[in-house]
Amino acid sequence: MKNFFLLSLLLVVIMSSCDFFGEYRYYIENGLASDTVTIKTHRNGYRYPTENMDSVFVLLPKERKLINVLPTGPSGKHEHPGDIMEAGYYELGQFEVFINGVKLEKSLWERKYWEYTTKELEGTYLLVIDEQIISEENE
């Protein structure tokens, strides 16, 4: 009877344990006063690498859009995801930025362009397209 009780208790603990999954969220914000920003992304599918996932996002002035969400994998309940971009991991694939239809000819994958914040089970990246990025393009 004692073994049955211990086995039952073990099964209850195992079946009631929870796996927590976090996510990385990628946002792009148009920080320009009057220009429209268009983002074109091209990446392979997360589960099926041969699947192409192309998207186009149009951001009006001062607008912010979520352009991608990726799982972090199993996490602890109170875990804060680490900065994977700092470690050289870029999941968005290729993306192009157009300002009023004119392509911005620079790679925005440099870590300095992305703000990273974190909270429990969520890491958030934000890229703000602003006058500073455009002026660097013209130098």
Distances (CA, A) of 32 to 26, 61, 69, 71, 92: 19, 5, 24, 30, 23
- Closest-CA residue to 104 (of 38, 48, 54): 38
Beta strand residue intervals within 34-101, DSSP E: 37-44, 52-59, 64-75, 94-99
Asked whether residue 5 is assigned to any structural domain, the reply reads no
Asked whether residue 132 is assigned to any structural domain, the reply reads yes
- Would the pTM of this model clear 0.85, i.e. be above it? no
Q: Are 71 and 110 in contact (CB under 8 A)?
A: no
| Three-class secondary structure of residue 12 per DSSP | helix
Backbone φ and ψ for 17, nearest 5 degrees, come out as -70, 150
Confidence at residue 56, expressed as pLDDT on a 0 to 100 scale: 92
> Which residue ranges in the chain fall short of pLDDT 50?
none
Confidence at residue 47, expressed as pLDDT on a 0 to 100 scale: 63
Its sign, for the CA torsion 95, 100, 106, 111, is: negative
Asked whether residue 69 is assigned to any structural domain, the reply reads yes
Count of structural domains within the chain? 1
Q: Are 91 and 44 in contact (CB under 8 A)?
A: no
Range of the domain at 114: 20-138
Asked whether residue 13 is assigned to any structural domain, the reply reads no
Asked whether residue 89 is assigned to any structural domain, the reply reads yes
> Which tokens sit at 58?
């149009």
Asked whether residue 15 is assigned to any structural domain, the reply reads no
Asked whether residue 14 is assigned to any structural domain, the reply reads no
Asked whether residue 3 is assigned to any structural domain, the reply reads no
| Three-class secondary structure of residue 7 per DSSP | helix
